[in-house]
Amino acid sequence: MAEQEFPGWHGTTIIGVKKGGEVVIAGDGQVSIGQTVIKGTARKVRRLSPGGFDVVAGFAGSTADAFTLLERLEAKLEATPGQLARASVELAKDWRTDKYLQKLEAMLIVTDGSEMLVITGAGDVLEPEHNVAAIGSGGNYALAAARGMYDSDRDAESVARDAMAIAADICVYTNGKLTVEKIKK
């Protein structure tokens, strides 16, 4: 039933890899509605600079919902400059309790270069245990691939790119046209 109500809920893969003093967030470019590819070059990874502090965010889910959440996150970051975790918790609280925001269907991976967090509409603000986080329909494929490569001599960007390539080969809602943002702290 939910699938018929929200046919576009499938799709996308976002990965964050923290390694060697940097964090890379990469996302594919495919936008799908149901089983139809609408666009192949969307930018689902964005750099935010509220109050002069750089933050990189990647999103999976409904595009309009994700943009609403990114705007709210920017406002929270402006209110708490340099405090990504606090701004993320405030966003998650609003997302869980506000009647309008509760209906939003998206997930975020955010980083300021030192912290990397996954934010969900269930009120979760999670820091990955193994310095790798992934969301979206191909997220589990990308996560498994990245964790398998993590202990090699590859840098964060190489791990993220190769994990995304593996996810794109497996998940029909993920393509290989990537947006990659890197941030150091």
Question: Is residue 12 annotated as a catalytic residue, yes or no?
Answer: yes
Cα-Cα-Cα-Cα dihedral sign, residues 183, 58, 112, 147: negative
Tell me the C-alpha distance between 73 and 71, whole Å.
5
Candidates 12, 13, 80, 174; catalytic one? 12
Terminal alpha carbon distance of the chain: 45
**Beta strand segments in 20-146, E:** 22-27, 31-33, 36-39, 45-48, 55-61, 106-111, 116-119, 125-126, 132-136
> Residue 75: exposed, middle, or buried by beta-carbon count in 10 A (0-12, 13-18, 19+)?
middle
Active site residues: 12
